[in-house]
Structure 1
Amino acid sequence: MTVPAPDPVEIRESSLDVLEKLRLPVPASGFPLVWEPGDELALRPRAEIEARVAILNVVLARSFGMPPERAMEWLLDARLVEQLTGPEWRFVVSDKGDTMAFSLHLEAVFALAWVMGLTPDLDPLYPSVDDLTRRLPVLPQGERFNEWRARTLAAPRGAAEVAAMLDMYYCLDWAYLESERRRLPLPGQVDSNTIGQRRWALEWAVVFHGPYHDAPLTWEEIDLSV
């Protein structure tokens, strides 16, 4: 469901307040807004978010040693093979790609789990919760995609709440990278990789509608350099 986006200036002020409380660098006044006044927004459909979580969970399992045959069998049973991106396909099938980079997707999954209402918070000071894997399809026990969906009964958050979190992580991404560049102390237990992965997931989950927004991007099209 598409709804009016909240005031981006008010949301940005709240995001910058978070940076100041964490004693992080604050971007200059011209730092771009994520959306403009008058824009509308929506979350991607619940089924699409669940599918992305399930695929990333399999990719993570592959990065930690799950055999490719079992991974493909699970994805085929779930009817998710066609939703794999090109890099994910090559990694799942033939181990082609950066295993370390794929393993970082744990934090993207954590952010999507928050969007789905499966985790209570997305605190930038701490890594993903220890029991996150229990909230995902339990692959070692053969839990199927539809069984997981029935077990979790996800209740996605409101689009405006997710957009506000995205704006905060957009600012945090800049601040963490700037802190690392200047070798400043970071406030919590995570680094810019964690912040970037969570931003990636949030950028993908929220769809904006307005004169300055293009069609929704695919997972691989999300650009964290801007």
Structure 2
Amino acid sequence: MELKDAVAVVTGANRGLGRHLAEQLVREGAKVYAAARRPQSVDVAGAIPVRLDVTDEESIQAAAAVAPDATLLINNAGISTGTPLIVSELDAVRLEMETNFFGPLAVTRAFAPVIEGNGGGAVVNVLSVLSWWHPAGVGAYAAAKAAAWAQTNAVREELAPRGITVSALHVGFMDTDMAADISAEKADPADVAAQVLHGIANGLPEVLADETTRTIKQSLATALSPA
């Protein structure tokens, strides 16, 4: 996909990875709709702020109407609440699923006919190394990202006949607000964004953005150890 000819919608574009994606797409010559729950918080020069809350169907449909020329959707918006699965309130678990699984699905469903009508294009889902590695302390987030990985693979097959490629970013900790309280090695979100754009340009089904993610992916066939 030629990025300079793309018309991109980036959710969660007001900060972190989303902001870097929007900025780099603008530099590549793409038209960019920078979507956020509070569009006034978007400060990406050259981008068009758009209100979009991935948990609000009305705002999703309104955003699709605002961006009728879209050819690229990057589902970046998400949350991480540090919610275990057993001892936490179910509402907290549901919030993770609503935002990290149902949200991207709803946005993709709204934009798929738009992208198809514009001759095809691409969808990218921002996932995580926790799609495959499931620590108990963030069980809700890991479960949502695992489900989103399955979603990505199924939607890829479903949208291929409509001229839409679907890919996923998997990455560990990034140096963003979401991981501010975590003491661990963190990837540079600008570098991760560049890898995503390279993946889009080359039609890659997956971008594994760091060594931890590549190692975890390779270990999926390893037998489980007793707890």
Class of the TM-score when normalised by the shorter of the 2 chains: under 0.3
Give the structure with higher Rg (CA). 1
Q: Higher strand fraction: Structure 1 or Structure 2?
A: 2
Q: Higher helix fraction: Structure 1 or Structure 2?
A: 1
TM-score, normalised to structure 1's length? Answer: 0.26
TM-score, normalised to structure 2's length? Answer: 0.26
Q: Which has the higher contact order (CA 8 A, sep 6+)?
A: 1
